[in-house]
Chains A and B, each alone.
Chain A
């Protein structure tokens, strides 16, 4: 995928819904989907209107979700493609797709060591899983993304643990700012069979992900 074309596409797709955005973290129901947005974190995302969306308020009450992170994100939203789901179902090989958006700071060590390769590990540490014996297969050729001072990657992986039922497939778009101290991540996935069946839906969600932060303070 050519980054420039993809971004132009995203802009045009979002053109009709940007006017509906409100200040702060917002979830706006549109006829063709929910728009998840955060003005403070400069991000926008659209998921199908039938999905259940958990905002920061709901997530803060969910212990299972909180346990997913070693450090608290600045922003987090989870959307799940079913009406009966818990936020903690994200990252698991569900039979329905889910999408998680996280904005988090990078530590000083992460800042100095972060590379384009390393961006794939900011939410779900593929490198560690591989070291621990998991089978990790890249589903597409990783794409470099560049937008002004932001740079990032678009990747897709299938991760197979010791049990077949634990296999997980996902697509992930990650952006980092010029100072390399903040990342914006969208991860969308489910079980491999679900991922295959829901690929058009997942792709549309990933393509809708827009980070408008300038990525630089000057």
Chain B
């Protein structure tokens, strides 16, 4: 769902999952077809299987970027000069529910721990901010990460609910140079991240 609510920003999100964030009006918001072509669309049948087998699965994804140039040869380029914002809502299976911590939220969108174990450099940029909104708890933190496909920098905000069975997260980033050049815009998007679900 996408609704334009002001002259300067677009609201991205969904009321069904209780999640919204704002991006500049000039940004492109990817629709379901575009997400599908990038392999980011929610797969209902796969989710049913995941739920049945007790594993975690993504129930919602949205993507916005300052330009369609974030897609290069049909693939999403997270490492270029085009800032992007990627949001997910994840439903946890029993195992992840039992082991999830505030620190664990860092790995929700990107497997930072795995990258580190593989010898890649993952550096936190700035302090972690603890976030508490009613029954939701979460964190806001930025990383510079060397990945198998390139180096990216991003800021991430994530919340988890009281039963610890659902998480909402948003990462906004691009290449390291781009990240610093667009720090103010990225900060504004991250700050706008709002989760209205399960607050009590």
Contact = CB atoms under 8 A, between A and B. Distances in A.
Interface of A: 111-118, 144, 146, 148-151, 178-180, 215-218
Contacts, number: 62
Interface string B102-145: 11100000000000000000000000101011111100000000
B37 interface: no
B162 A115 contact: no
Given A112-B128, A144-B163, A149 B102 contact: no
B53 interface: no
Contact of B98 (A116, A180, A215, A217): A116
B163 A112 contact: no
A216 B102 contact: no
Contacts of B104: 115
B164 A216 contact: no
A118 to B, nearest CB: 7
Interface string B65-102: 00000000000000000000000000000000111111
A112 B137 CA distance: 11
B36 to A, nearest CB: 34
B8 interface: no
A180 B135 contact: no
B45 interface: no
Interface in B8-57: none
A183 to B, nearest CB: 14
B6 interface: no
A135 B178 CA distance: 54
Given A111-B130, A149-B200, A217-B132, A178 B162 contact: yes
Nearest to A217: B132
Nearest to B102: A112
Contact of B99 (A115, A149, A217): A115
B73 to A, nearest CB: 39
